[in-house]
Amino acid sequence: MNPFRKKTRSNEPNPIQGIRTGFTVDEIKQAFLDNLRCGMGRLEDIATKHDLYFALALTIRDRVFQRTVESIEHYGGADARRVAYLSAEYLPGPHLANNLLSLGITDSTREALKSLGHDLDEILAQEEEPGLGNGGLGRLASCYMDSLASVEVPAIGYGIRYEFGIFDQIIRDGWQCEITDKWLRNGNPWEVARPETTYQVKFGGRTEGITDEQGRFRIRWIPETEVKGVAYDTPILGYRVATCDILRLWKAEAIESFDFAAFNHGDYYRAVQDKMVSENITKVLYPNDEVAAGKELRLKQQFFFVSCSLQDMLRIHALLGGTPKTLHEKWAAQLNDTHPAIAVAELMRLLVDEHQLGWEEAWEATRATFAYTNHTLLPEALEKWSVDLFGKLLPRHLEIIYEINRRFLEEVREKSPGDEARLARLSLIDENKPRSVRMAHLATVGSHAVNGVARLHSELLKETVLRDFADLWPDKFRNVTNGVTPRRFLALSNPGLAQLITSRIGDGWLQDLNQLRHLERFVDDGEFRQQWRTVKLANKQRLAALIKNRTGITVSPESLFDVQVKRIHEYKRQHLAALHILTLYLRLRRNPNADLPERTFIFGGKAAPGYFMAKRIIKLINAIGEIVNNDTVVRDRLKVVFFPDFNVTNAQVIYPAADLSEQISTAGKEASGTGNMKFGLNGALTIGTLDGANVEIREEVGAENFFLFGLTVGEVTQLRARGYRPGDYYAQNKTLREVIDFIASGALAHGDAELFRPIVENLINDDPFLLLADYQAYIDAQERVSTLWRDSSGWTRKSILNTARMGKFSSDRSIRDYCERVWKIQAGRQ
Ligand code: NBG
């Protein structure tokens, strides 16, 4: 019997009313008071901000869980295939405001609280966001969870419940300092522990061949250690629909009984040590963005969460009446980059070793279950694990990978006999010392579909990193351009603009972002333009206040807000923007009357703690800020701000305030970018290269509404082939030379010429990301920005058009694309 199946079915999203789950002002008010007393044990008069936040979170959680249960009942009965999104990272942002929005009770909640003398916004500000990811990849996973629920696809997002997420960044003396992220310190009202939904995960040891009771030869894995994974569920509500999906994160715990022997012998410490070692697995997120860590603990994390998730999927499948062989009929599992790629070998192990399937049928089910999304072409991010480490930690999986490889290369040999070079390129094992397992190859071979995250990236993927695979299986490759959720990144972040838009075209855009096109009717409406500018100005005032609060710097909301927020990476070229600022600075120093519009440069982003150049780029930006912001000649014309601790919460204030969006990576390096979409949605104009999704953004908004500059991918390749000599650009471009000499002089470092020497020498002698080659084109494009900025209504017109034409970049569209092109699932309730 299917335990999920509902006896009676109601399509009413919220059939239960009353104080526990009702939506009226009075019901919310009473529930909040009840939770303060019965949930928190607090008298209202002495309740702290945290008490108020928690009581409200519990109140809203009841209303969310009401839908969770309804959803489980509904989809338990449906024959629908469900999605398992496997991702080592998630960046959901604060939950409370988003849940209010999804339920449609923001206003009634505000009113309920107001009647009690409390301010909703103050309470919302209490929430600490789960920083369980590094950057774009983790945030994309959360946008996709939001959209899966909103377009009504049953799904579980599987991941890791890191006790410490991405570090908090503070800036001290211009340098980044990392502070441990204790996000769970005040408790987390949004998760429910499921102490009975647990799985055992094995590590290390050895394998042996045995003959089972039926006389069949089998492999048994005798592990060295075992840990337990415990499920923690967070409900992810769809916007204004009955569907509620689940984010299921695994926490590692010791298997209590495991070291009983030590305990019994009085070695209490050893027994406890075992517990500590087990729990270490989910202790902390690796803070590297796009760099493979290569650490044993990281491989443990990957295997740990994948093994728990697959065991969970098989259990749910069995509950629904399925057999292991038909897993793919009920589950579509998406590998978010190669971090969960070990799933291919683990599912094979579970099917063959534990469920006694034959190799062929297991392989068929495995391939039909998985699809793989590649998120980067950067060589340093392509995961490889040394065969030694792999064999030590996962001896059975290494055997399975060898067997997958043997059969795969056999197939290749048949198609291209004698082509040994091709075999070596395709192999799952890189034979160069130290021998290693290529995770992207494992993911590609073990999946029925492989996609990149923007059109250009998907093309380059087929031409470079996975070229031989694309030759072999052209039909396996497709593109799904990334998207972002308009709920969080427009409705929640920018309520002023959301209201203005809705006042003109209704609120259908929240579920169908293409409806923003209707705004085009108003581009020449003077009143509308004025309202558009008023909203932007208010958003800039809000950000200016936050900047003042966080950095002490005063910026003018009237100035052009020129913003670059993203992880700090050389390929993203924050230092190219720095060269531009210094160009303007030196120009103004020479000619204080130069006609330059007032600009505020705002940077934000974390650097991996071990990334030397990235950390020095942060210092450079802060050093420029110190000079520029304190220079009496220049400081009312230019301001430079490094906004500390860029995260989802801060992003929600920054994107709506931007006039100009900096998307200036070296062509071919940024797989997609998603910040570019969030800026555009909030009416910023983009200055950018033909890279990632910029290409499609420009296509959508129109070339005349986008500031394009720089070498194309083809030109980059040609330039490198000819032999790139950055020194020539330095020698030939006087302004560029002055800027670089200025940095080299030590003028930004109180005379210390050493501080930025690594950056200067890197640029002049090597410049792997072609800053010097793109410098002049960038400066010229920035001139065009300044010219347009002086024409305020011309700028506003383009700003409106940018927002109006961002429909394609909704993550709802991306999820529908995945449903159609990859998962073969129909969105929407049947
Ligand atoms: C990042 C890319 C971005 C892209 C996000 C989401 C990794 C490995 N890749 O360009 O650099 O937008 O993924 O797809 O983090």
Does 136 sit in the ligand 1 pocket, CB within 6 Å? yes
Out of 567, 569, 639, 816, which one is annotated catalytic?
Answer: 567
pTM of the model: 0.97
Per-residue pLDDT, 12: 47
Contact 374, 451 (CB under 8 A): yes
Measured by CA distance, the residue closest to atom 3 of ligand 1 is 673
Task: State CA 813 to chain mean position distance.
Answer: 17
Per-residue pLDDT, 7: 45
Out of 462, 487, 566, 698, which one is annotated catalytic?
Answer: 566
SS3 802: helix
Out of 67, 330, 396, 678, which one is annotated catalytic?
Answer: 678
Q: In sequence order, which residues have a C-beta less than 8 Å from that of residue 628 and are 6 or more positions away?
A: 581, 585, 634, 635, 638, 639, 640
Q: How far is the CA of 143 from the centre of ligand 1 (A)?
A: 13
**Closest ligand 1 atom to 140 CA:** 6
Rounded-to-10 torsion of CA 306, 308, 311, 317: -90
- Determine whether 566 is an active site residue: yes
- Determine whether 674 is an active site residue: yes
Hey, which of 91, 134, 137 would you mutate to test ligand 1's pocket, going by the most ligand atoms within 8 Å of its Cβ?
137
Length of the chain: 830
Does 676 sit in the ligand 1 pocket, CB within 6 Å? no
Q: How far apart are the first and last CA of the chain?
A: 22
Q: Maximum distance among all alpha carbons in the chain? A: 91
Out of 330, 441, 572, 813, which one is annotated catalytic?
Answer: 572
Does 673 sit in the ligand 1 pocket, CB within 6 Å? yes
**Closest ligand 1 atom to 457 CA:** 10
If we measure between CA atoms, which residue out of 159, 164, 198 comes closest to residue 181?
164
If we measure between CA atoms, which residue out of 735, 769, 481 comes closest to residue 587?
735
Contact 822, 541 (CB under 8 A): no
Does 88 sit in the ligand 1 pocket, CB within 6 Å? no
**Tens digits of per-residue pLDDT, 165-191?**
999 999 999 999 999 999 999 999 999
Q: How do 331-336 and 82-86 pair as beta strands?
A: parallel
**Closest ligand 1 atom to 482 CA:** 14
Per-residue pLDDT, 503: 98
Contact 587, 734 (CB under 8 A): no
Per-residue pLDDT, 11: 47
Going edge to edge, which strands form the sheet with 436-438? 384-386, 436-438, 429-430
Per-residue pLDDT, 275: 85
Contact 133, 139 (CB under 8 A): yes
- Determine whether 567 is an active site residue: yes
Does 143 sit in the ligand 1 pocket, CB within 6 Å? no
pLDDT mean values, one per 10 residues, the chain (830 residues): 48 64 95 96 95 98 94 80 97 98 98 98 98 98 98 98 98 98 98 98 97 90 96 98 97 77 70 86 96 93 98 96 96 98 98 97 98 96 96 98 98 95 98 97 98 98 98 98 98 98 98 98 98 98 98 98 98 98 98 96 98 98 98 94 98 99 98 98 98 98 98 98 98 98 98 98 98 98 98 98 98 98 92
- Determine whether 376 is an active site residue: no
When the pLDDT of each residue in the chain is averaged and rounded to a whole number, the result is 95
- Determine whether 639 is an active site residue: no
